[in-house]
Amino acid sequence: MDPLTWTGALAFLNPIYQITLVLLVAALAIWIITSVISAGTRQVANADGSFTLAGNPQAMANLGVKLTFLVVAILSLAYLLLGLILGTNAGIVGAMSRQMLPTWTALVVLFALSITFKRRLGLYGKLFDSPIGMIGFGLVMFWVFTGIFGAMDLIATHDPLGQASGMKNKVPGTPLRGAEEGEYAWYLLGGDNLARDVFSRMVKGAWEVLKYAPLATLFAFMVGITLGLPAGYYGGRLDTLLSFLANLILAFPVILLFYLLVTPEIVATGLPQFMAVVLFAFPMVFCGVLIHSRFRTQPGKDYMWLAIVLVPIFLLYMSLINENGSKIDFWPLDFFDIPGGVLVVFVSVVFVNSPTVFRIVRGLAMDIKTRDYVAAAQTRGERAWYIMLWEILPNVRGPLIVDFCLRIGYTTILLGTLGFFGLGLPPESPDWGSTINDGRKLLSIYLHPALPPAVALMSLVLGLNLLADGLREESLKD
């Protein structure tokens, strides 16, 4: 087996690609500079008293940017599409594109469906009106699909923990020594310092992020909403107390908190589990109050919904906090065990994130509670919790959804930080932070183990940021 080059049979495209990239950068620079200097489009008075917009350097630069960007996009697409057909003949890029086939399919289907029905899909559909939002959504969904299909073993070429002899720190495209029948014959992005496949680890790492980040953010939102609404609505002493606690946590340097919570000694005391008991109770409280405040006057419906929702949540909650051989070990119906390290990571990320959510929700509630519809509900004699959860909360969903997207990105960064310091997650875990941490030790000699997870993390967080920006823009329009 020969080592793979980056583009293989498509190498003839490379010079063109390089030239257009240089042109794109140049056009961008000119575009920015002209827009700073010139005052935008200029109006020229004609002899007959009419006005025309004069063509100016900025418009020309704009055209240049659009053209070169189009060419770059077409060429990039060509690499990927031809890679799909040619596979490893089209080099590393082509081979990766072929491996990612499930992701591409899912993305194309999702976008085609969404754009077709975008008028009927509410805010989500409107997202497809904003280019920024579309790019962000595309990036996020790319990693979501990669994570899901990666977890189903459709993408990764090798076992993320498996070590192959002679592949230590090998450059991208190195063929496996003595690859067996049915085994993928190359390490597409090279091997790391323990001779594991960087590409497979990156793909598996996406799943690690997807497993924790959205769920941790959701829990943080539950905590923040459940505490922030009453703090903002009632005000007074409750508000002072809760705000003081939130500021207390916010003033704590995050890394110090992680170091204090995540050490094995602290885990042995069961402290993170007790924190989990408190923090994970909030979704239950939230759902219970949400249902009860709505159906308070119809006991039959009330009990039915409470039973339908709370029983499964309670079972999940108990098996989440109950763990054999730890401090909390009494519940017989334990469906699954969370490894100690993972639970700690989860708890500390929720703990760090919830005060910020609390502050946002509190601010929004304080703003909304002066509105007329809240006064109307008060006059109707609605209970306080009904007003908070069914009058105020639906009306602050816009900013909350936007912040949710941003916060998933932030949680991803936090998880990466934990991995970077080797805290909590198991050391061989393929998550991006740990992989970057592994790779950085030999960074000045071997770049390839650290760069793919770094770029992956950056693109996911960038996608989430752009998505949040697009959502904000679209939700402000109406």
Partner 1 sequence: MGLFILRRSGVMIITALCLTFIVFFLTNLYPNLEKLAKTEGNFRMSDEAVASWLEKNGYAQPVVVKYGQWLGVMPGWTRTADGEVTGRCIDGTATPDEAATAPRYCGIIQGDWGYSTRFKTGVGDIIETRLGNTGYLMMWVLILMVPSALIIGVLAGMREGSATDRSLSTLSIMTTATPEYVSGVIFIAVFASSTVGLKWFKGTATAAMENPTFENFFLPVLTIALYGMGYIARMTRASMTEVMTAQYIRTARLKGVSFPNIVLKHALRNALIAPFTVIMLQFPWLLNGVVIVESLFNYKGFGWALVEAASNNDIELLLAVSVVSVVVVLLTQLISDIGYVFLNPRIRIS
| Residues engaged in binding partner 1 (CB under 8 A) | 28, 31-32, 34-36, 39-40, 58, 62, 244, 247-248, 250-256, 259-261, 263, 265-266, 268-269, 271, 409, 413, 416-417, 420-421, 433, 436-437, 439-440, 443-447, 450-451, 454-455, 457-458, 461-462, 464-466, 469
Q: Minimum CB separation from partner 1 for residue 31, in Å?
A: 5
Rounded distance, CA 55 to CA 63, Å? 11
What single-letter amino acid sits at 353? N
Q: How many CB atoms lie within 10 A of CB 312?
A: 10
Q: Which of 477, 231, 185 is nearest to 361 (CA)?
A: 231
Rounded distance, CA 171 to CA 189, Å? 7
Q: Minimum CB separation from partner 1 for residue 403, in Å?
A: 14
Q: Residue for token digits 């923040």?
A: 224
Q: Minimum CB separation from partner 1 for residue 377, in Å?
A: 32
By beta-carbon proximity to partner 1, the closer residue of 337 and 473 is: 473
Q: Minimum CB separation from partner 1 for residue 276, in Å?
A: 16
By beta-carbon proximity to partner 1, the closer residue of 131 and 162 is: 131
By beta-carbon proximity to partner 1, the closer residue of 194 and 442 is: 442
Q: Minimum CB separation from partner 1 for residue 476, in Å?
A: 12
Q: Minimum CB separation from partner 1 for residue 66, in Å?
A: 12
Rounded distance, CA 91 to CA 402, Å? 39
Q: Minimum CB separation from partner 1 for residue 250, in Å?
A: 7
By beta-carbon proximity to partner 1, the closer residue of 178 and 264 is: 264
User: CA gyration radius for the chain?
Assistant: 27
By beta-carbon proximity to partner 1, the closer residue of 35 and 395 is: 35
By beta-carbon proximity to partner 1, the closer residue of 19 and 248 is: 248
Q: Minimum CB separation from partner 1 for residue 457, in Å?
A: 6
By beta-carbon proximity to partner 1, the closer residue of 397 and 440 is: 440
By beta-carbon proximity to partner 1, the closer residue of 288 and 398 is: 398
By beta-carbon proximity to partner 1, the closer residue of 68 and 293 is: 68
Q: Minimum CB separation from partner 1 for residue 23, in Å?
A: 16
Contact 433, 460 (CB under 8 A): no
Residues comprising the chain, all counted: 478
Write the CA distances from 264 to 126, 257, 260, 261, 360, integer angstroms: 47, 14, 10, 9, 33
